[in-house]
Chain A
Amino acid sequence: MAQARTSRRYLKAFVSGFFVAVPVTVTALDRLAYVARVEGASMQPSLNPDGSDSDVVLLNRWSVRNSQVQRGDIVSVVSPRNPRQKIIKRVIGLEGDFIRTLGYKNRYVKVPDGHFWIEGDHHGHSLDSNSFGPVSVGLMHGRASHIIWPPHRWQRIDPSLPPNRGPLEMGEDDD
C-alpha cells in the first residue's frame, strides 16, 4: 500500500516537473541561445580549421530578435535553397552596400533593403551569397558568439571583416 502511494507521488512529481522543464527549455533554446555543431570547411580558418574535428558554437538568439546585425558577424541563416538546413557564414555587407562579388552573375551588387550579403571565409568552398545572391534578413537565425568545443578552441567570436572583403567605399571624385 505504502509503495503504491510513494510511486504515485513520484509519478506526479515527474509529470509536473516535466511540464515545467520542457516549455522552459524549449523557450530558452528558441529565444536565448542555441548550441550547434559546425559541419564543413566553408568557414576555414575561423571555424573548423582542422577538418577532422568539428567546432561547436554557441548561437545567440537574443541579440538577433530585432533583426540587428553588423558587418563581420558570423551568423546562422536558414538556407534559401533548403529550408530544412541552416548555414553559418559571415556578414560582409548590409542593405545599401555595394559589394564586389566573387563568382556571382553580376560583378557588382547593391544589397537591397532588408537583405544582407553573406560569405564563407573559405572562398571557393562555400555555398553563399556568391551563389544565390543577397539573403533576406528575415532568414537569420542566430549570431555565433562563442566557440565552446573543443576545449582548446574555447574563445569569443568577435565581428571582423576578412581582408579585401567588405562594402566598397563610394569615394568622392577629386575635381
Chain B
Amino acid sequence: MFFPQVKMFRGLLGKTLGFVGYTIQYGCIAHCAFEYIGEFVVCSGPSMEPTIVSHDIVFSERMSRHLCKIQKGDIVIAKSPYDPTMNICKRVIGLEGDRVSTRSDIFSSHTYVPKGHVWLEGDNLRNSTDSRSYGPIPYGLIRGRVCLKLWPAHTFGTLGENPNKQNVKSHKESD
C-alpha cells in the first residue's frame, strides 16, 4: 500500500533535483559568457549622439577589459564613479599619461591623465556629463568595450569614429 507513494515521491524528487542541477549548470555557463565574452546593453540618454542614440541595443565585449587592451577612441561601458549601481557609456579620449584639454564654457586648459585612469567624453559634447565635469576615472571601473550595434536593425554594424576632431597629444608623440 505504501510503496507506490514512496516510489512516486522518489521519482519526483529525482526529477526536481535534476532540474535544479541543470538550472545551476546553465546559469553558471550564462554567467561565464556574460562575464568573459560579452553582454548586451540597452543605452539611454543623448550623450553619445549621433553614434549611439537612446534605446539602441549594443554588444559590449569583455575580453579587452580583462586583458587591459582598451585603446584611445574605443567606446566603453563603465560603472559610474558617483553611483556604483549605474553604468555610463562614453568614448575613451585619453589613456594614462596623455595630455587632454578640459574645455569649458569660460576657459580651456590642459591636464595629464594620471596613472591607472582614463579620460572619457561623450560624442555629443554639448549634452554630456563626462570627464570634463568629474575628472578622469579609474581604469578598473570599465566593464567592457562596445564593438557592435545590434538595434535598430538598419544601423546594425560597427560603430563610427569620434565625430569631434580632438587634438590630443599622446605622451609618446613629440612636438
The residues of A with any CB-CB pair to B shorter than 8 Å are: 20, 22-24, 26-28, 30-31, 66-67, 78-84, 112-115, 135-140
Task: List the A side residues contacting B138 at CB < 8 Å.
Answer: 78, 80, 83, 135-136, 139
Chosen A-B contacts, 6 in total, with CB atoms closer than 8 Å, are A20-B25, A27-B27, A80-B116, A82-B115, A83-B139, A139-B138
CB–CB B84/A136 < 8 A: yes
Asked whether B82 lies within 8 Å of A82 as measured between CB atoms, the reply is: no
How close is B5's CB to chain A, nearest CB, in angstroms? 32
- Note all chain A residues with C-beta closer than 8 A to B82: 112-115, 136
Q: What's the count of A-B pairs with C-beta under 8 Å?
A: 73
Contacts A27-B28, A138-B79 hold; do A67 and B140 have CB atoms under 8 A apart? Answer: no
A81 to B116, CA, bound (A): 4
Further pairs besides A23-B29, A79-B116, A137-B84: 18, Cβ < 8 Å: A26-B35, A27-B28, A27-B32, A66-B85, A67-B85, A82-B116, A84-B68, A113-B82, A114-B83, A114-B84, A115-B82, A136-B81, A136-B82, A136-B84, A136-B137, A136-B138, A136-B141, A140-B84
**Cβ contact within 8 Å between B79 and A23:** no
Chain A residues closer than 8 Å to B28, beta-carbon distance: 23-24, 26-28
| Interface flag for B20 (CB, 8 Å) | no
B residues within 8 A CB of A20?
25
Give the Cβ gap from B108 to chain A, nearest Cβ, in Å: 24
Query: Is B71 an interface residue when CB atoms closer than 8 A count as contact?
Result: no
Residues of A within 8 A of B31 (CB): 23, 26-27, 30-31
